[in-house]
Structure 1
């Protein structure tokens, strides 16, 4: 997967655009800024937005090419993000280090997904927040109609409500729902798709 993402991010163009995810933008602004970690952050559009909104931002991805583009975007917007490259368990984040975690299209391999979610929750301080948007199992139908809408082709990587409730069930869901959305996020997220969205708080 690292080679796949390095190749995808190697172009000069920001393939998911330079602007934040709509759902993240609408929800992040409702909370007082603190320290936030963005998982599988790619080219940095969400991290840079949060930094511009006064959050202290950390981020990680498996792709070194993603980091280069994220740091370039941060420089363009005159903000700083602390961006690491590697697998989550090896990156040295600490328990209760962050006030929030952003999971925007962070479709981890199924064999590590539950562990990664557990780790990310452990990095949250008490009352810390998770902001989540990811493709749901229902998205396969939309992909068949329009490949340009993007998303993982392996159905195992898509989310069900049951999986979300299992992995994040120890949190308090402020909101949790499935939705059809019209994506306009760069070259690879274009058209109608099916997503799960939630904001949840650590107890």
Structure 2
């Protein structure tokens, strides 16, 4: 997987664009600035946006090429962020350290999905917010019609509301919806698709 992402991100262009995901951008405006963890941040469009708007950002991804692009984008925008490279299962992430976590199109292997989501969530402070958007299992039918619709192939690699509730059902859920979107994010997220969106506040212990 690392080689695949390094190859993708080694292109000159930003393959998912330089602008943040619209849902993430909107949700971030609802929160006071603080510290935010951005797993699977790729070329950094979302982490850099948060940093440029006053957040202290820790991004991470498998890809060194993604990190290089993210730091380039941060420099273009006159901001900075910390960017860790490695498998999220092995990275040393502090517990209860972040005011928010942004999981934007962070698709994990089906046998690791629940484990990784819950591991990531341990880094969220009690009272902190999780912002999530990723492709729904229903997205498969859109991929069949449009190859540039984006997302990993196979419903097992996509998300269901039930999976999110298994991990985060105990949160104060602000939003949980499955909705159709029209995307124009670089060359790999284009056209109509269907996503799951979740915003939840971690219980205060």
The CA distance in 2 between the partners of 1:79 and 1:123, in whole Å, is: 23
What is the correspondence of 1:25-174 to structure 2 with a 5 Å cutoff?
25-174=25-174
Deviation at 1:89, TM superposition (A): 3.3
Q: How well do the aligned residues superpose, as a CA RMSD in angstroms? A: 0.8
The CA distance in 2 between the partners of 1:84 and 1:110, in whole Å, is: 23
Larger mean CA deviation between 111-120 and 188-197 belongs to 111-120
Contact 2:135/2:151, CA 8 A, preserved across alignment: yes
Gaps of 5+ in 1: none
The CA distance in 1 between the partners of 2:154 and 2:72, in whole Å, is: 31
The CA distance in 1 between the partners of 2:47 and 2:166, in whole Å, is: 27
Deviation at 1:181, TM superposition (A): 0.2
The CA distance in 1 between the partners of 2:65 and 2:154, in whole Å, is: 23
The CA distance in 2 between the partners of 1:136 and 1:73, in whole Å, is: 29
Secondary structure at the counterpart of residue 75 of structure 2: helix
Deviation at 1:169, TM superposition (A): 1.5
Q: TM-score of the superposition, structure 2-length normalised?
A: 0.97
The CA distance in 1 between the partners of 2:38 and 2:108, in whole Å, is: 13
Match in the other structure for 1:19: 19
Gaps of 5+ in 2: none
Match in the other structure for 1:197: 197
Contact 1:129/1:199, CA 8 A, preserved across alignment: yes
Moved over 2 A (4+): none
The CA distance in 1 between the partners of 2:80 and 2:186, in whole Å, is: 23
Q: TM-score of the superposition, structure 1-length normalised?
A: 0.98
How many pairs are equivalent?
203
